Structure 1
Amino acid sequence: MPPDLLGLAVTCGALVAATIAQRVVGMGFGIIMAPVVAIVAGPLAAVLVVNLYVVVACGLMLPRVWPDVDWRRLRWLIGPAAAASVAGLWIARSADVDVLRVAVGVAALLGVGVSVAFAGGERVIDGPVSRVVAGATIGLMNASVALGAPPVAVYSIVSRWERRSFAATMQPFWVALSLVTLLERQVLAPGGAPDWPWWGWGAAGLATVAGVLAAEPVARRVSARAARLGVIGLSLASGLAVTAVGVAGLTG
């Protein structure tokens, strides 16, 4: 199998898993997809592929979760995220990509570690300032390395956001942010698309649809505790994966 088609096949398999994670815990698409696409097609391709297919995945999920969306909190998060994504794309275009990966990966690990330790107490951190900071951090990291989920996890933990509402609200959030990022990318950092045939993009779309269909029965069987552990585990895994890829690039 040619290398580009092998990369496409790996991407399609990852898309199914990423879509299931996205529906069950409200995040996980970029965590799974960003390292995979960055390895097989490069970091700029990762930003394009992750943001394109998360629109498809979350858009298909949205009608099922619409009643549980927290629209007020969504508005607080999406504005700063969209604004900060401009800076993220500029960083992706101009910074050394491996240094950026290490910096983002370490920041993600520290953020999740601190938030988990914080969760052992009774205090809740949630308000305009924390929402603006969370949204801006998500937008910056999503646009620079297609990895916005760790700051989502940190905010969800420290604010003690109820699992059902969190998972629902993240679907329109990622649709809106990804569309903005894709439009900005065409202006600030065009190019870098994977070298797939036309039908490869359709195959990736079908893999995303398959993930959506498989995710519904899984979501109904996952407890709140399991979903919370999933958020933490996926965030830690993404931080480790991105850091490892960056270190390998710097030392290779």
Structure 2
Amino acid sequence: MIDPVTLLLYAAALLVATVAQRVIGLGFGLIMGPVSVMVAGPIAAVPLNCIFATVGCVLMLPGVWRDVDWRRLAWLVLPAIPASVAGLLLARTVPADALRIAVGVVTIAGLLLSLAFTRTRHTLDGPATRITAGLAIGGLNAAVGVGAPPVGAYALVSRWTPRTMAATMQPFWVVLNLSTLAGRELLVPQGFPEWPWWAWLGASAAAALGTLLAHRIAHLVPERAARVTIVVLSLAGGAAVIASGVAGLLAAA
């Protein structure tokens, strides 16, 4: 259950997360992950984020349809779907806190290497790069609920234009979140949040409002600012995963 005051705070965070998701194509899970854990608990947080991320991205699709890179979308999403199943299985077998720390360290290292790569004039964006990125995004999103860092790393090495990236990631997250929800229902069916109808309606309205606001400001964000935001949020995501893992280990000690 959820009380009206908590729902209001959750809806406010949801509005901000939806704006970030539209403007730069990622950030929803980084913002809503900790909030959802506090509101609904760690088990229910993943399906909760998947549901409202899907709602927000579906509402954004009409406004970004013309900028979607459908070919690149296919390269990324096709490997991400089976990787999400593998991520769910991994989360069932490996201690959650140890997994979070390992994932956080790997993602931050990958981002730092990607930043170093951008100092060269090379671009890394062939089929192997896209498949690897899709596998990493799908697996990490399902295993620990943070798929943004590998998105940021891929955007850096491929020099993906922020506007096209933001548009393409909307249908990507719709497909990936729906497949994660389906896989979770089969593999980890427990933990679905038990909210009254008015809570679902209120949170969905916040996602809709965030979409309307984001469409008005997305074109005002400079490309350089979008790139910097992508890097910062991706690094923050890796650090947050490590911090949550360390906190969990200390609490269990």
Q: Is the Cα contact below 8 Å between 2:80 and 2:134 reproduced in 1?
A: yes
Cα RMSD between the aligned structures?
1.6
3-state SS of 1:126 partner: coil
Q: Structure 1: which amino acid aligns with 2:164?
A: S
Q: Is the Cα contact below 8 Å between 2:58 and 2:170 reproduced in 1?
A: yes
Q: Is the Cα contact below 8 Å between 1:149 and 1:235 reproduced in 2?
A: yes
* TM superposition shift of 1:89: 1.1
3-state SS of 1:35 partner: helix
Higher alpha-carbon deviation: 78-87 or 199-208: 199-208
Q: Structure 1: which amino acid aligns with 2:76?
A: L
Q: Which residue of 1 aligns with 2:209?
A: 210
Higher alpha-carbon deviation: 112-121 or 136-145: 112-121
Q: Is the Cα contact below 8 Å between 1:65 and 1:168 reproduced in 2?
A: yes
* TM superposition shift of 1:3: 7.3
Alpha-carbon separation, structure 1, partners of 2:8 and 2:249: 27
Q: Which residue of 1 aligns with 2:37?
A: 38
Q: Which residue of 1 aligns with 2:130?
A: 131
Shift of the 203–92 alpha-carbon distance from structure 1 to 2, 3 Å rule, reads: farther
Q: Is the Cα contact below 8 Å between 1:86 and 1:184 reproduced in 2?
A: yes
Query: TM-score, normalised on structure 1?
Result: 0.94
Alpha-carbon separation, structure 2, partners of 1:3 and 1:106: 34
Q: Structure 2: which amino acid aligns with 1:153?
A: G
3-state SS of 1:73 partner: helix
Shift of the 93–39 alpha-carbon distance from structure 1 to 2, 3 Å rule, reads: farther
Q: Deviations over 1:86-130 (max 9, x none)?
A: 011112233322112212222222121111121111111111111
3-state SS of 1:152 partner: helix
Q: Is the Cα contact below 8 Å between 1:109 and 1:240 reproduced in 2?
A: yes
Equivalent pairs: percent with the same residue? 53
* TM superposition shift of 1:84: 0.5
Higher alpha-carbon deviation: 76-85 or 240-249: 240-249
- Equivalent residues in 2 for 1:197-236 (5 A)? 197-236=196-235
- Whether 1:148 and 2:129 are equivalent positions in the alignment is no
Segments of 5+ residues of structure 2 without an aligned counterpart are: none
Alpha-carbon separation, structure 1, partners of 2:110 and 2:11: 30
Q: Is the Cα contact below 8 Å between 2:2 and 2:199 reproduced in 1?
A: no
Q: Which residue of 1 aligns with 2:17?
A: 18
Extract structure 1 runs of 4+ deviating beyond 6 A.
none
* TM superposition shift of 1:138: 0.4
Number of equivalent positions? 251
* TM superposition shift of 1:60: 0.6
